[in-house]
Structure 1
Amino acid sequence: MKKVARKARKTGALLLCTTILLLSACGGGASSNQAASGEPYDENSKANISWLNILHTASPPTDTILNKIEEKTNTDIQFSWIPDASKEERINTSLASDSLADIVTLTLLDNSSVRNSLKSGLFWEVEPYLNDYPNLAKISEDTRRSASIGGTLYGVPFQKDLARNGVTIRKDWLDKLGLETPHTTAELMEVARAFTEDDPDGNGKDDTTGFVDRSDLIYGAFKTLSSYFGTPNIWEVSADGKMTPEFMTQGYVDTMDYMKELYQKGYINQDFAVTAKTDQQQKFAQGRAGIYVGAIFDSKNLLNMAKGIQDDMELVLVNDITSTGNEADRAIWAANNGIGGLLSFPRSEVKDEAELKRVLKFVNDLLDEDVYALMTYGIEGTHYTVDDQDAATITNTDLWQQEVQPFSASRPKESGFKIHDADPLKKESDKLIADNANYAVLNPAYSLESETYNTQGSELQKTITDATYKYILGELDRAGFDAAVESWKKSGGDAIIAEYESAYKEVQS
């Protein structure tokens, strides 16, 4: 790949890049060539931009789309890809060693190391500059506030749909077994049982489960199911300003009990606690399970992955499941209040305001319609066709997956563009995601500050995460889980609660 041959600007960045993925490359500041020559900075000149980014696919993209993006944005982009499964560890290491890039994708804004790095002045404050760029100026005030840390915006927000999750189910299996689409958690459990025990694929073998899940209590099945049981979104605030973490509510316990039953009865893949997202999706596409809980728009990708393997696969999307059967109880958690993270710019790499403005111009250009089309669908005539209604159809799925799909998570905004997907499943998922917004549950503490959380939050959360998994797997009873909660409280959790309550009161006053 030509990117590998490019010389990195810093030895530290090159070492980081080598350890992350040999197929990627780092280095190259926004105006490094000009700085070396002593020439004045020109915002419209071609820029070398390095980007420490998250990879959500099995392998990084080839240069086909990258070359086109570079042409559109007048840049030379040098990616360093961090696999999604190891993003927390890698980002923490990069922040600690200052082995960064001109642009750093920070998706874990609740991570204490990330928040501390942002607040420490490591990254540029960007809000004073956004209105100078036509696309960045359109970022709403609500989005800017939600993405701020302590009232300061340290990067360009990833703009996501408010609530994207739901349930994807094998409709052909429902039909074969004479089952209706479930709308309650009890009905969903029965579907899981039938998909496990009643041979939904008709091959005479005991080789299917109901659910297929992954090692992720947030973006996997757990948090979406918890919405159906009435669990608050991370924090709950009472009328008098008292804050309660989600794991101290009955809904959270009900969700653990539900998943424990799935696990004990074999209705979920028994290795879910150590399964990566890519493996989860492959298992579904291979016909080894019939229920996938996660982003509703994943359905299109799941069906595409199944081509040639499960050609008879039909899917139905569900977003209205409750534990009670009452419409009034519908709820779905809003991922980070619609913020997917930040594109942040380290002062160690982006040396001055002139460089910052050039990098911001690049991010602004990524929000252009034609660049969005490249990062979403690819090259017209090669990867997709478009009709007179601006509806795009992928025509070469294998090539799209290899050359285009890895870029989709790098789009600063994922909806609201003229070009749209012609695929029926994508149309349906877009409709349900829009409907979800009417039932979205926000995290009332998302933009609040707690010093104890910033310094200890990530470590403390591991206590709860470990206890949750152990409870589901039958390694811990209710008393053991409650003991873990008490440990969380005594180790700093009580301080976090008090600090959030104080911050909430200050905001409300």
Structure 2
Amino acid sequence: MAHAALDIARGITMIEEKPNRPGSLLKRTAFFLIIAIVCASCSGKPKADPAAGKDDRTSISIMAPLHFPHPPSDEIIAQIEALTNTTLDINWVPDGIYTDKMNTSLTTNSLKKATFVKHTDYIFIKNAIRSDSFWEIGPYLEQFPNLRHLDADILAQAAVDGNIYGLYTERPSSRQGVIIREDWLDRLGMNKPATLDELYEVIKQFTVNDPDGNGKQDTVGLADRNDLVFGAFKTLSSYFGTPNNWGLSASGNELIPEFETKPYKDTMNFMKRLYEEKLINADFAVTSKEVQRDKLIRGAAGVYIGSMTDVQRLSDEAKQINPEARFALVNRIQGPAGYRVWSIPNYNGLYLFSKKAIRTEEELLDILAFFDRSMDKDVANLLRYGILNKHYTLSGQSVVLPEETSQLRVTDVGALYTLMIADLSNPNVLEAAEKETMWELAERLSADNEKFLVKDPTIGLESKTYDEKSMELYKIVSDATYNYILGHLSESGFDEEANRWRREGGNEIAKEFMDAYFMK
């Protein structure tokens, strides 16, 4: 059924109209009426089964991360189902525990039909992909009017052994930056930081100089969490000049892991100083993102280093507690090598399709048809902005986002962003004429980051040892990094852990990446 309209479209091209032939108008009218009826059955509206009294909706189970306090409203889900002719069973999993839940589903062979896999977790799924646990979808994309136009470069970045398995959610190369309580800066007479030294001073003064004016020393400068990648560490590390995962040696003939470089150690020493001087939450090594965010929202901390687009939610929720709370964004922090910021490939994650949950090619095509339909104008803008005249209005062909519906959009619509395929390059998504100020600023500064990106030279390269051992090897480095910052490990102890990483598989990974890199 997913291809009925496509089949008829092909049939149309085979018909030769003869307008002067008697009865041709009646025949053409009847023919196109048939076409309209069949196309309507694929349009996304439920089609009743006259015999059974039931509709023929496609049932789709989905596992997706929840980045907001609540799942989207039932009203919007119902509209999506009606438009796409589906029944959706979406398992919204809080982002902080998503990786663990996804891995559990994988090991227990209980994946949903469509499962979102974060870019940072994709490496751990590749063995399952190679074991034929997921459908290869590349050969089917040309059959769909939207999916056939997905970006070939991004698909190649996420390919496994040259084959395409996932539909990607799109993102800029880097949204990383610094979110700061601007009202605290004003109260202390400070400017937004522009260098690492100035950033340290802001963090310090936010801790020791009563930035909230309550007469108590009850704030901490930086709130961080147990994430060396999307928490503060990696962004700070790029400011210090650390390569992005791997860097070329001075001779240019060897790839060096980032943690063996001086800037990486400089970053550890910076974090160690913040910890020893109590300028960061003491439990950062075990703090979740939800708790980290709560410190900013409640006014217990004033600096957040990570995705700048988090600022809108932080600002909205902080103002509910303290209407005077104001936030500022900084994306340019000058370090020893100038402006630098780490980047990721242009996909934030992928939807993969389980062969255990999806038994037939026909069912796979129906599910791909749902994602293709989700890129059409009506569904894409419902996912992005919500319901017209409830969550947003239109000015010509531009979306207007009223300030008074801001919180309603967060509650009803926010989480749906994760379902959008290739949204940044989808021409069917309307532009917003009046974007929310903080979100607009975050997007503009993310675009500015493109001018000084630090890219990972191994993106798109294959290393079987990395695919097999990266999880256990990464734990060696992450544990050593945290233990050094917390004062439980000396520099020589850290170096020994780095050597252990090499002995237990790191050398093989480096060789395989180098072989692939120099063969490009």
Stretch moving more, 166-175 or 390-399: 390-399
Secondary structure at the residue paired with 1:308? helix
Amino acid at match of 1:361: A
Mapped contact 1:384–1:395 kept (Cα < 8 A): no
Corresponding position of 1:404? 413
What one-letter code is carried by the residue in structure 1 that aligns with 2:459? Y
Matches within 5 A, 1:429-468: 429-468=442-481
Please tell me whether residue 352 in structure 1 is matched to residue 360 in structure 2. yes
Compared with structure 1, are the counterparts of its residues 108 and 458 closer, same or farther at alpha carbon in structure 2 (3 Å cutoff)? farther
Aligned to 1:269: 281
Q: Within 5 Å, which residues of 2 pair with 1:65-104? A: 65-104=76-115
Q: Which deviations, in whole Å up to 9, do the C-alpha atoms of 1:353-407 show, x marking residues without a partner?
A: 2222211111112223333332333223333344444232353344333322222
Residue number in structure 1 paired with 2:424 = 415
**Do 1:69 and 1:371's aligned partners in 2 also have CA atoms closer than 8 Å?**
yes
| 1:227 matched to 2:245 | no
Corresponding position: 1:118 with 2:129:
yes
Q: Work out the CA distance in 2 between the residues paired with 1:394 and 1:383.
A: 10
| Contact 1:58-1:278 at 8 Å conserved across structures | no
- The one-letter amino acid paired with 1:219 is F
Residue number among 338, 347, 363 corresponding to 1:339 in the alignment: 347
Partner in structure 1 of residue 440 of structure 2:
427
Q: In the alignment, does 2:256 pair up with 1:256?
A: no
Q: Which residue does 1:372 correspond to in 2?
A: 380
State, as a whole percentage, how many aligned pairs show the same letter. 39
- Higher mean Cα deviation, 251-260 or 103-112? 103-112
Distance 1:418 1:400, change over 3 A: closer
Corresponding position of 1:139: 150
- 1:484 corresponds in structure 2 to 497
Partner of 2:254: 242
Distance 2:334 2:140 in 1: 44
- Check if 1:170 corresponds to 2:181: yes
- Name the CA distance, whole Å, in 2 between partners of 1:300 and 1:122: 38
TM-score, normalised on structure 2? 0.84
**How many Å separate the matches in 2 of 1:113 and 1:171?**
40
- One-letter code of the match for 1:482? D
Q: Partners of 1:112 and 1:384 in 2: how far apart?
A: 38
1:303 to 306, 315, 320: 315
CA contact (8 A) 1:383 1:394 kept: no
What are the Cα deviations for residues 95-132 of structure 1, in whole angstroms up to 9, with x where unaligned? 12211111011114555531111122211112222232
Structure 2 distance, partners of 1:241, 1:395, is 57
Picking from 309, 314, 329, the partner of 1:317 is 329
Name whichever of 404-413 and 92-101 sits farther off: 404-413
| Partner in structure 1 of residue 515 of structure 2 | 502
Secondary structure in 2 aligned to 1:131? Answer: helix
C-alpha RMSD of matched pairs (Å): 2.1
CA positional deviation for 1:195: 0.7
Q: Which of 484, 487, 490 is matched with 1:471 structurally?
A: 484
Secondary structure, counterpart of 2:401 in structure 1: strand
TM-score normalised over the length of structure 1? 0.86
Taking a change above 3 Å as real, the CA distance of residues 282 and 383 of structure 1, as seen in their structure-2 partners, is farther
Partner of 2:25: none
Question: Would the aligned equivalents of 1:214 and 1:277 in 2 still touch at CA under 8 Å?
Answer: yes
Q: Given that residues 64 and 418 in structure 2 are in contact (C-alpha distance below 8 angstroms), is that contact kept between their aligned partners in structure 1?
A: no
Quick one: structure 1 residues 369 and 189, their matched pair in 2 at CA, closer, same or farther if it must change by over 3 Å? farther
- Residue 432 and residue 114 in structure 1: after superposition, are their counterparts in 2 closer, same or farther (change >3 A)? same
State which drifts further: 467-476 or 44-53.
Answer: 44-53
From the superposition, tell whether residues 369 and 481 of structure 1 become closer, same or farther in structure 2 (CA, over 3 Å): farther
List per-residue Cα deviations over 1:203-235 (Å, max 9, x = no partner).
101111111111111111111111101111111
Seen in structure 2, the aligned counterparts of structure 1 residues 136 and 393 have a Cα distance that, compared at 3 Å, is farther
Q: C-alpha separation between the residues in 2 aligned to 1:402 and 1:435?
A: 29
> Is the 8 Å Cα contact of residues 99 and 121 (structure 2) preserved in structure 1?
no
Q: Tell me the CA shift for residue 446 of structure 1.
A: 2.2
* Residue from 334, 339, 352 that aligns with 1:330: 339
Q: Which runs of 5+ in 1 are unaligned?
A: 1-36
Q: Distance in 1 between matches of 2:177 and 2:68?
A: 21
Question: Contact 1:53 / 1:82 at 8 angstroms: preserved in 2?
Answer: yes
Q: Matches of 1:280 and 1:384 in 2, distance apart?
A: 30
2:295–2:301: 8 Å Cα contact kept in structure 1? yes
After superposition, the C-alpha distances for 1:425-471 in whole angstroms (9 at most, x for unaligned) are 11111111111112222212122111111111101101111111111
Q: Name the count of aligned residue pairs.
A: 462
Deviations 1:109-162 (A, max 9, x none): 555531111122211112222232232222222111111122221111221111
Report the alpha carbon displacement of residue 59 of structure 1 after superposing the two structures with TM: 4.0
| Cα distance in structure 2, aligned partners of 1:280 and 1:368 | 37
Contact kept, 8 Å, 1:300 with 1:425, in 2: the verdict is: yes
Helix, strand or coil for the counterpart of 1:390? strand
- Taking the aligned partners of 2:94 and 2:211, their CA distance within structure 1 comes to 34
Partner amino acid, structure 1, of 2:321 = I
Q: Does 1:184 align with 2:192?
A: no
2:392·2:399 contact (CA, 8 Å) conserved in 1?
Answer: no
Deviation at 1:315, TM superposition (A): 1.8
